[in-house]
Amino acid sequence: QEVENDVEIRAVVERATLLIGMHADGATESIVDIALKFRKPFVVVPCCVFPNLFRHRFVPSLDDDDVGEGDHASRKMVPVRSHEQFCQYLALKDSHFVVETLPFEGRNMAIWWDGVHRDGDDQISKRKQGADDNDTNNRNENIKH
Lowest mean pLDDT among 19-28, 73-82, 104-113: 73-82
30-43 pLDDT, tens digit each: 999 999 999 999 99
The listed range with the strongest mean pLDDT (4-13, 67-76, 118-127) is 4-13
Helix (H, G, I), strand (E, B) or coil at 144: helix
pLDDT value of residue 139: 37
pLDDT value of residue 118: 79
pLDDT value of residue 68: 57
pTM recorded for the entire structure: 0.74
Mean pLDDT of 84-99: 97
Residue 7's Cβ-side half-sphere holds a number of Cα atoms within 13 Å equal to 0
Residues 6 or more apart in contact with residue 26 via CB below 8 angstroms: 48, 50, 53, 54
Q: How far apart are CA 41 and CA 112, in angstroms?
A: 7
CA-based nearest residue to 131, from 48, 36, 44: 36
51-79 pLDDT, tens digit each: 999 999 999 997 766 555 555 567 899 99
pLDDT value of residue 144: 38
